[in-house]
Amino acid sequence: MLLPILPIVLAIWKRTYKDAILKTLFIYLVIDLSCNLTEFILAFIGLYNIWLFNTFFLFEVIIFGIIYTQLLLSPTKRKFIVFCLIIATIIAVFDFKTLEISPFATAFDKVLMIVFVFLHFNTILSEMRIKNILLHPPFWISVGVIIYAAGSFSIDLFSNYIFNDSDETFLFFLNMRRIVNIIFLLILSVAIWVKKYNIIEEQP
């Protein structure tokens, strides 16, 4: 629950929140931590917190959409991301549920995140501006996002089935999703850490 603290502390320590992309990532991490804490408090006092899950997933895809519009300079790609975000918002609104996870909306968000990562990887490979990809923070953000989206897509899509299944199944998939989340946050920490080594070759 408190794992987002690690990249947040790292971002404050390394002062990477000054960078436009990492600033948006920092905002995402703060929202993630706040949502986790709120969900915990709501569960602790015996109130439903599923609606917060559903809302957070929409915020999540919007924030990553903003990150990728900052990263991708092509106007077509930017327009495409904005269009996807509008669709995601419409689906989230129509599929919104307060008492159970909205499977279609959350799974669609994950698909969008994977598409954004593909767009970013395509840009990296076609432009060839980065000298060392392993020291490029946006690459690590994309690595984290693709692992997170791929690892949670099936679980989110069948979340209602998992909820209604046995406790053993529920705990197994809950822990699996937690592991994916931990890996995601650790990779985001790497993205913040490698900021100082980042070298981009300027286009002539």
Partner 1 sequence: MIPSPDIQIFIGTSVLLLMALSIIFFVIYYQQKQLKKDLQQQKQIQELKNEMQRQLLESALEVQEVERVRIAKDLHDEVGAMLSVTKMSFNQLLRKLDNAEDLATMGKQTRELLEQSISQVRRISKELVPSTLEEFGLVSSVDEFINKVHLASSTSFVFSHEGIDIKQRFDKKIELTIYRLIQELVNNALKHAEAKEIKLKLTSENNKILFSFIDDGKGFDFETKRKDPKSGLGLRNMESRLSVINGSINIESIKGKGTKTLIEIPI
User: In this structure, what token pair is assigned to residue 196?
Assistant: 């100082």
The reply on whether position 128 binds partner 1 by CB under 8 A is: yes
Q: CA-CA-CA-CA torsion for 58, 80, 78, 31, nearest 10 degrees?
A: 10
Among 49, 55, 89, 154, binds partner 1 (CB under 8 A): 154
Number of residues that bind partner 1 (CB under 8 A): 29
User: What is the spatial distance between Cα 88 and Cα 96, in angstroms, rounded to a whole number?
Assistant: 11
172 scored as a contact of partner 1 (CB under 8 A): yes
Is residue 163 a contact point for partner 1 (CB under 8 A)? no
Cβ–Cβ < 8 Å for 84, 99: no
**Binding map of partner 1 across residues 73-112, x = CB under 8 A, - = no contact:** ----------------------------------------
Minimum Å gap between C-beta 172 and partner 1 is 8
Residues 10/186, Cβ–Cβ less than 8 Å = no
Residue 9 binds partner 1, judged by CB under 8 A: no
Determine the residue type at 1. M
C-alpha pair distances (Å), 187 with each of 4, 83, 90, 198:
11, 28, 30, 16
Site residues (vs partner 1, CB under 8 A): 114, 121, 124-125, 128, 130-131, 133-134, 139, 143, 146-147, 149-155, 158, 161-162, 165, 169, 172-173, 176, 180
